[in-house]
Amino acid sequence: MDLDDLPRPKGDAASKLAGEDLGPYSQDELDERIALLEAEIERVKSHRDKASAHRAAADALFGKPSS
């Protein structure tokens, strides 16, 4: 079995961040965290868009797989 076929483990980094207590953070630290998270969102969106374009190119070349 290929590793890509295995289910993703629960408790990924984003889930852990979502459960973290934000109380101890200062406003400056929260602003920095927001900036980092927004940059990560853009990185993920960019990767998603590239993967989508790659998939569309493959579908155009080989035809869409039948469901």
* Cα separation, 11 vs 8, whole angstroms: 9
Mind listing the pLDDT tens digit for each residue in 19-47? Answer: 999 999 999 999 999 999 999 999 999 99
* Cα separation, 50 vs 60, whole angstroms: 15
Per residue, what are the HEC states of the chain?
CCHHHCCCCCCCHHHHHHCCCCCCCCHHHHHHHHHHHHHHHHHHHHHHHHHHHHHHHHHHHHCCCCC
Task: Give 66 or 6, the one with higher predicted confidence.
Answer: 6
Per-residue pLDDT band at 2 (split at 50, 70, 90): low
pLDDT surpasses 60 at 65: yes
Global pTM?
0.68
pLDDT surpasses 70 at 67: no
